Structures are given as structure tokens and as C-alpha cells.
Chains A and B, each alone.
Chain A
Amino acid sequence: MKSIKIQLWYGLLGLGILLGLITAYRVLIGTGFVLYAKTDILVWTIPIAAYVFFSLTSTGLAFVSSIPVVFNTHGYQPLEKRTVFLEIAVLMAALTCLLLHLGSPWNAIYFLFSPNFSSPLWWLGMLYGLYFIVLLISFRRMHTTGTSKVLGILTFIIAIATSTVLGWLFGLPDARPVFAANFLAMYFPLTGFASALAAVLLFSIAYYHFAK
């Protein structure tokens, strides 16, 4: 029998999802992107803040899952499947935030037909696409033939690349002295790792709580 507290919590989560769906409708079909408290100076608003959180947590989870696979720390083996699953789930959350942020996401096909190699955003798009494919293959292999060390190392390298490229994206443009910070390329992987540890702890506790 579920306790009142759990039902209230589910209710709260459901309300959050409902509010999110209503906002998504209002932004994409109704009023428009003005709902993000836009100004022409602060052009990257709430969805991007959420996107950065989720994408860095996902790459941080890649670092966590690389502890047993890449660095051969055998005590962390049980975390493997859970962490990879979390990576995929959190990356889906990041993609949802991105779809709410982009004005015309259907033109993303031009990432392939009209690439700009000097743009960090292009590199980020390609790296995250590759990351997602490698994760899916990794996750499937884990359930069939077992963990692949090669895929683990590849995931680890891509995770380093994506978090540092995100640092390039935010930190290196000269136009915004407030954001411009060369250390972001170091800061993002480290904070991603911290978020990932928190995520693993949170979901492990939640799992054992609900599995009882």
C-alpha cells in the first residue's frame, strides 16, 4: 500500500509534467518564445539552463561509468548498467529542453548538409549524436554479450570532448565579457562529474526505496 507521502510526491511530479506540457504548447503553438522572459540581450533562457544541466550530468555519468570499465576499479561494477541507462534517460531530458529552446529545430538536417567546422555548436551537435549512438550500442551489448571495454573508452573520450566543447561554446566568445571564461572548459567536466555522482546516489536510493 502506497503511503500518503508517496502519493503526494507523485501528484507533485504529475503537476510539474502537466505544467511543462502546457508551457510547451503555449511556446510552440500559442504565444511564442516570449514566454521565456525574453530580452534581446539575454537570449539563452530557462531551456538552455536546463539543457546544460542535463547534458553535463549525462557526460558526468559517462565519467562515472568509466570508473569500472576504463579504470578497472572492480568494486564499481554493479553501477554499470544503471549508469548507462541513466545516461540515456538524462540525454533524452537534455534533448527535450533543446527542442523547447530551438526556434526551428526541423532545419537541423542542415547540420549534415551545410556544416560549419568553426562553430562549437556544430561540433556539439555531432558529438552528442555520436555519443547517443554509442550509448545505445553499449546498453544493448551490456544485456547481450557483456560490457565492451572499447565502447567504454570511446564513451569516456566523447564525454571529455563534449563537456570541453561546451566550455568553448560558452567561454571563448569575446562578445560577452560576463560569460567569457577560459576555465569553463575545465569547470564543466568537473561539475558534470559532481552532478552525475549526485544523480547516481539519488536514483540508487529511489530504486531501493521503491523496490522494497
Chain B
Amino acid sequence: MTTLNINGKDYELALEGHVTLLEVLRDTLGFTGTKTACDEAECGACSVIIDGRSVLSCITLAQDCVGKKITTIEGLARGEDLLHPIQEAFIKEAAVQCGFCMPGMIIATKALLDKNPAPTEKEIQKGLDGNICRCAGYPQIMKAVKHASKLMREDNA
């Protein structure tokens, strides 16, 4: 049996070596917020945070995540009715169009802002460079990240 720590909780799982983290999250545990899209580690829709860094779960073996802290999009909200400031910001700035890239974008934003609470525009572009939005909603996404940065700094002040 393998233990994976996901969103602060331990899950005991019978895993085979070749199973990716993405498959465990979606198919075994029902965390379908993390998306299967390009399947080539190019689009970022499968992004999760492992030990503070955004990674691509479609090319991560689940067994290699033992002992690490995994955060998915489901782990961000602060309660049933309380969104994370990043989620609030993305909604307020109308950054969500079709929504498919959003979990990955928000996860990448969380990883960025946890490391760099007040990024410049260039740093935001770089921090989210592993996430593609086919709706081309980048201007709104940029605004949302800046807004989220402000909200998180106010939260921490």
C-alpha cells in the first residue's frame, strides 16, 4: 500500500508503478479538477503543486510522490463557502471563459504567489508560462493574478 498526502489528507492506495499521479487524482480519488488535456506535458491543464512547486501530473508517477505534499485545485478553497483569494480574483476579473485551463492556471498562480507575493508582469508571464489558455484569455488572467497578489498580501498583512 502507498500513502499519498493530498490536500493535507493521507490516502492509502494500492498503486501500480506505471500509474501517473493524474490518473490517481482523477480516476481513483475523484479529484477531477485536475484536467487531462494535451497528454504531452505542454498545456499545464494537469498542473498540481508538489512541495510548493507547480508540476505536471500527467508525467509524474504516483509512486514517486510518496512523502510529498500534493495540492490540487480542490485543496485551495478555505471552506465550503470560502474561496481562496486567487479563485475570487479570477472570478472577479472575468478571467474564466471555457474554464478548462483554469485549475492549472490557478494552481500555477498559487505556486507563483507563494514564492513571489508581488510579481512583476514579466514574472507573472514566466510563472504561468507552462499553462496555455486556448480561449486566449491572457489579458484577464494577468489582471486576475495581479488582483490575487493584492488580496493575498492584504490577507497576510
A binds B: no
